[in-house]
Amino acid sequence: MTTVSEKIDAKLVKELREKSGAPMGDCLKALQEAKGNIEDAFVVLRKRGMASAQKKASRSTNDGSVYPYIHAGGKLGVLVEVNCESDFVARTDDFQELLKDISMHIAASDPRYVRAEDVTPEDMEREKEIYRAQAAATGKPAPVIEKIVDGKMAKFYEEVCLLEQPFIKDQSVSIKELIAQKVAKLGENITVRRFARFKVGAPDWTVATTKQTEAAAE
């Protein structure tokens, strides 16, 4: 009798490993659970990664690295600080790859905040008022309007918050999920503390810091 593990082709496991960054053993288990469907297996790994990241979220991240990224031609630059728990993890190829991916993403997507929790009350209320006015113009009842506003705010966070944005290299994964994959692989909590983005000739620039960092500095 052929077992499920025997049916999973090694090339499929390798493909999922390259796509997700998860250990080979986890990829095999996910493919077994998904009956060989690589997309379903990827979803399984994403869920496990987020669960692992949530368990480690309360752990302090007092180490890490600052990574500079200069786009071709020197017209656009990003400086990002990503934290982890130890210098050992900070020096791994996986962590350095994450730094590069996040900095390149910031250069391309121009987020304004690190997390949804960092959006200022002024920006949040301004956006809500705009969405309420737009929904009210359709004549819909108040409860429906609020649901519309909630949906549009979720989209707003996805557009302006780094962790909520779809990763430029793989739109099926958010930056939050990309980090969670590394947390699951490296076994340490990983957080983005702050970043700055500068573009030659632009009237302003972006400097984003988590509220936790701001509170610690006071």
Burial of 38 (0-12, 13-18, 19+ CB in 10 A): middle
For residue 104, give the 3-state DSSP assignment.
Answer: helix
User: How high is the mean pLDDT of the chain?
Assistant: 86
In the chain, what are the domain boundaries? 1-56, 59-118+161-218, 120-153
Higher pLDDT among residues 80 and 27, named by residue: 80
Given this model, what pLDDT does residue 5 score? 44
140-197 residue pLDDT tens = 888 888 889 888 998 999 999 999 999 999 998 899 999 998 998 888 999 999 999 9
Higher pLDDT among residues 204 and 211, named by residue: 204
Residue with token string 């200022």: 120
CATH number of 1-56: 1.10.8.10
pLDDT exceeds cutoff 80 at 25: no
> Model's pTM, two decimal places?
0.74
157-169 residue pLDDT tens = 999 999 999 999 9
43-65 residue pLDDT tens = 887 777 766 667 777 788 899 99
Given this model, what pLDDT does residue 17 score? 78
β 170-174/191-199 pair status: unpaired
**Architecture of domain 59-118+161-218 in CATH?**
2-Layer Sandwich (3.30)
Given this model, what pLDDT does residue 63 score? 95
Mean pLDDT of 76-101: 96
Helix (H) or strand (E) segment spanning residue 3: none
pLDDT exceeds cutoff 90 at 100: yes
